[in-house]
């Protein structure tokens, strides 16, 4: 059994040594534990420092492509390297690395496909009061959308089984945390949440530049994921509301016609017709989106089968990874190569 611990990085030379120094080389249940750094277009010496620190594999994007893309590059590389379980953590040493067995043990026991580390948000001193409340609210929204019991949805400290990694697809370049949970829940994958510890803050968060921006981006992400994975539900209720308004306006006009005052309420007919037409169009859009979503599910199944064949029958040397036309990274190397 092989475990690969991956860390997406962007200009992390100031904190990377601390994060790498805390990573384990032995984890219960695994014969091999390797480290992977995904350098997302850093302009400092993050990649060189990672090699000096003894990181097994370094993948580098030539330009910054965003956290979500770096995360997916890491998953793809880990699968090519034969990982049975993948642990994702941060380069700022936010999460306590000794808690990695808490994430991997449910997967090894066959109890979960993805395990999310739940931070003690209320006890985290560098989180403001409003950020704590928004974290709670965001996690609640993700639980509703994904039908899971994840306590800390924005947490990047997570373990993923090999099979689950092949099923994940992230469409948002901003962050992978919310989208992957909703996707996993809607794909009937087992998502488990376990409490973990955190370390003192080494630097301000780069993802949450402002509370307003983070909330807006998170809401857009949840809405987009709903449109992808539950499109009929997303279009059905607006259709019902529009149709109901149209019917009420039509009934109101009929009432005035019955009492002989219909001539003065022609606007009700126009409003009713508009709402009914829009309701019908919205419902039709829901049916079409649902058919597209069904086709997407079939394509995902084909993609997983192709990946199984690719990763099972072709163990690639690391210097072949950069030659794959569909790989995101520009280079993959081991220390000393």
Residues 14 and 35 in one domain: yes
Work out the average pLDDT over 204-230.
69
Residues 8 and 150 in one domain: yes
Residues 211 and 282 in one domain: no
* CATH at 59: 3.90.550.10
**Rounded distance between C-alpha atoms, residue 182 and residue 142, angstroms:** 7
pLDDT at 316 over 50: no
**Domain end marker among 196, 229, 262:** 229
Number of separate helices (H) and strands (E) present in the chain: 11, 8
On whether the CB atoms of residues 252 and 258 are closer than 8 A, the answer is no
**Domain end marker among 201, 229, 257:** 229
Q: For 336, left (φ over 0), alpha (ψ -120 to 50), or beta?
A: left
Higher pLDDT, 15 or 209: 15
Closest Cα partner for 178 from 197, 205, 150, 199?
150
pTM of the model: 0.74
Domain annotation covers residue 305: no
Its domain, for residue 37, covers 2-229
Residues 224 and 246 in one domain: no
Residues 164 and 202 in one domain: yes
In terms of Cβ atoms closer than 10 Å to its own Cβ (0-12, 13-18, 19+), residue 96 is middle
Residues 191 and 137 in one domain: yes
Residues 9 and 150 in one domain: yes
3 state SS of 4: strand
Domain annotation covers residue 336: no
For residue 239, what is the enclosing H or E element?
helix 231-258
**Rounded distance between C-alpha atoms, residue 77 and residue 55, angstroms:** 14
pLDDT tens digits, residue range 76-118? 999 999 999 999 999 888 899 999 999 999 999 999 999 999 9
Work out the average pLDDT over 263-278.
87
Q: How many domains, in total, are found in the chain?
A: 2
pLDDT at 282 over 90: yes
**Domain end marker among 229, 245, 268:** 229
Domain annotation covers residue 328: no
């Amino acid at each position: 059994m092989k475990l690969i611990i991956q860390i997406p990085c962007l200009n992390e030379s100031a904190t990377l040594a601390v994060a790498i120094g805390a990573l384990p080389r032995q984890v219960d249940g695994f014969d091999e534990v390797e480290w992977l750094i995904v350098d997302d277009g850093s302009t400092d010496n993050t990649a060189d420092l990672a090699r000096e620190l003894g990181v097994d594999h370094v993948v580098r994007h030539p330009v910054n492509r965003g956290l979500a893309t770096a995360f997916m590059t890491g998953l793809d590389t880990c699968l090519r390297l034969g990982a049975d379980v993948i642990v994702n953590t941060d380069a700022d040493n936010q999460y306590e690395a000794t808690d990695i067995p808490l994430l991997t043990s449910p997967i090894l026991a066959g109890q979960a496909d993805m395990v999310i580390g739940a931070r003690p948000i209320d006890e985290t001193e560098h989180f403001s009061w409003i950020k704590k409340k928004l974290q709670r609210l965001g996690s609640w929204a993700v639980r509703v959308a994904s039908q899971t019991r994840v306590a800390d949805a924005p947490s990047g400290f997570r373990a993923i089984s090999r099979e689950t990694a092949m099923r994940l697809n992230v469409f948002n370049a901003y962050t992978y945390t919310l989208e992957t949970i909703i996707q996993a829940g809607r794909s009937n994958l087992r998502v488990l949440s376990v409490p973990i510890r955190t370390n003192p803050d080494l630097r301000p968060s780069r993802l949450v530049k402002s509370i307003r921006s983070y909330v807006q981006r998170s809401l857009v992400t949840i809405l987009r994921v709903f449109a992808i994975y539950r499109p009929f539900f997303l279009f059905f209720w607006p259709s019902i509301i529009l149709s109901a308004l149209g019917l009420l306006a039509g009934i109101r006009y009929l009432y005035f016609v019955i009492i002989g005052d219909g001539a003065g309420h022609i606007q009700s007919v126009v409003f009713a017709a508009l709402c009914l037409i829009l309701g019908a169009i919205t419902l039709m859009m829901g049916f079409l989106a649902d058919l597209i979503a069904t086709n997407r599910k079939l394509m995902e199944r084909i993609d997983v089968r192709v990946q199984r064949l690719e990763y099972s029958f072709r163990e690639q040397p690391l210097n072949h990874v950069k030659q794959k036309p569909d790989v995101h990274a520009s280079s993959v190397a081991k220390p000393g190569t």
